[in-house]
């Protein structure tokens, strides 16, 4: 497991406080169908498979959801791992009622987050093929209420966070400048250096003229909103003329198909929210009844490691 994969896996482990709320959201009053059928007490076995290639995200949280209901799953794939179709993600035995109570919420969560991770990984690979030192940074524009999960999902795909929230960084938008009464950016910069001397100062600009003014004012980061590739190249050339050039971040309209072109033009960072809207990955869930005595050697031979408690795969 690489360092980035280990980081993604540990990040999801720290989200285990979400396991119970996710379960209660789907079954606050229990599982009426399973209860009506009288399936409690019947033994079963659940397996999650990848239907297609994907970058995995959220299996640790899915395991925590099963564990909360007494299902001791084995985690075969951790967040950040890229797998092929047919790869087993997790598996474990349990009471049929518990398996049905958990599996759909866990499946949907893993599919949604793995879709985000897979999309992030695709853009990271496109960018790093041109320049491995350029980062893909995902914004705070995740679905409200789902930011914790969304942010960890994109980091599982190899992206970094642009800003996790408003308290992290100073980034000036046109909406801020609407209240500054056309004050020159040099005066704005002087104030910000005085108020927040330890912070890098970023500004979003809409055209080359604004970018030139921001460069002259000494901003540390220029976020170029919906610039063409050629316009990014022109701004990057202006920045390179300085002894300490600002970071040029391309934002808005950047896709997997054109991200490499923006990097070639001189973008030092790609800012995107696109992975948050990625289609879910496809995870197949198999549940089968098990009629064996769990303590027999034959049961162990058939179910193997899935009878063990939750442990990381090697």
Q: How far apart are the C-alpha atoms of 58 and 79, rounded to whole Å?
A: 6
pLDDT of 5 reads 64
pLDDT of 15 reads 82
269 phi/psi in degrees, rounded to 5: -160, 145
Q: Identify the domain containing residue 108 by its residue range.
A: 3-118+282-307
Asked if 127 and 271 sit in the same domain, the reply is yes
Buried b (16+ CB within 10 A) or exposed e, 233-262: bbbbebbeeeeebbbbbbbeebebeebbbb
pLDDT of 231 reads 98
SS (H, E, C) 252-279: CCCCCCCHHHHHHHCCCEEEECHHHHCC
Asked if 89 and 194 sit in the same domain, the reply is no
pLDDT of 282 reads 98
pLDDT of 80 reads 95
Asked if 193 and 110 sit in the same domain, the reply is no
End-to-end CA distance of the chain: 8
Q: Please, what are the averages of pLDDT over each run of 10 residues along the chain (314 residues)?
A: 66 83 92 95 97 97 96 96 98 97 97 98 98 97 92 96 91 96 94 96 97 98 98 98 96 96 98 97 97 57 45 36
Asked if 148 and 258 sit in the same domain, the reply is yes
Asked if 273 and 127 sit in the same domain, the reply is yes
Asked if 41 and 73 sit in the same domain, the reply is yes
204, containing H or E segment: strand 201-205
* Residues 272 and 225: beta-carbon distance below 8 Å: no
Asked if 11 and 85 sit in the same domain, the reply is yes
pLDDT of 310 reads 40
Q: How far apart are the C-alpha atoms of 272 and 111, rounded to whole Å?
A: 21
pLDDT of 192 reads 97
**Total number of domains constituting the chain:** 2
Q: Which two tokens stand for residue 188?
A: 């704005």
CATH number at residue 181: 3.20.20.70
The angle at the Cα of 23, spanning 17 to 24, to the nearest 5 degrees, equals 100
Asked if 267 and 186 sit in the same domain, the reply is yes
pLDDT of 121 reads 98
Asked if 67 and 156 sit in the same domain, the reply is no
Q: Report in angstroms the alpha-carbon separations of 200 from 11, 172, 221, 254, 280.
A: 26, 12, 7, 24, 35
pLDDT of 313 reads 37
């Amino acid at each position: 497991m690489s360092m980035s994969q280990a980081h993604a896996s540990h990040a999801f482990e720290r989200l285990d406080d979400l396991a119970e709320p996710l379960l209660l959201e789907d079954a606050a009053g229990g599982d009426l169908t399973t209860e009506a059928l009288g399936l409690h007490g019947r033994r079963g076995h659940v397996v999650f498979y990848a239907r297609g290639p994907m970058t995995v995200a959220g299996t640790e949280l899915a395991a925590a959801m099963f564990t909360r209901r007494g299902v001791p799953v084995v985690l075969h794939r951790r967040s950040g791992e890229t797998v092929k179709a047919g790869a087993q993600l997790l598996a474990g035995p349990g009471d049929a009622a518990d398996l049905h109570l958990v599996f759909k919420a866990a499946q949907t969560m893993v599919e949604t987050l793995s879709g985000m991770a897979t999309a992030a990984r695709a853009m990271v690979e496109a960018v790093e093929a041109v320049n491995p030192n350029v980062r893909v940074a995902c914004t705070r524009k995740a679905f409200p209420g789902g930011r914790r999960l969304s942010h960890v999902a994109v980091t599982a795909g190899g992206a970094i966070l642009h800003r996790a929230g408003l308290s992290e960084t100073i980034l000036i938008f046109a909406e801020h400048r609407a209240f500054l009464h056309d004050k020159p950016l040099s005066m704005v910069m002087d104030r910000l250096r005085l108020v927040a001397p330890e912070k890098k100062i970023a500004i979003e600009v809409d055209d080359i003229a604004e970018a030139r003014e921001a460069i002259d004012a000494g901003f540390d980061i220029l976020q170029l909103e919906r610039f063409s590739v050629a316009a990014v190249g022109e701004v990057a050339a202006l920045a390179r003329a300085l002894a300490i050039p600002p970071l040029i971040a391309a934002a808005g309209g950047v896709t997997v198909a054109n991200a490499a072109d923006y990097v070639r033009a001189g973008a030092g960072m790609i800012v995107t929210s696109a992975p948050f809207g990625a289609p879910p990955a496809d995870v197949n869930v198999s549940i089968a009844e098990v009629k064996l005595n769990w303590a027999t050697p034959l049961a162990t031979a058939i179910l193997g490691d899935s009878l063990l408690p939750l442990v990381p795969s090697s």
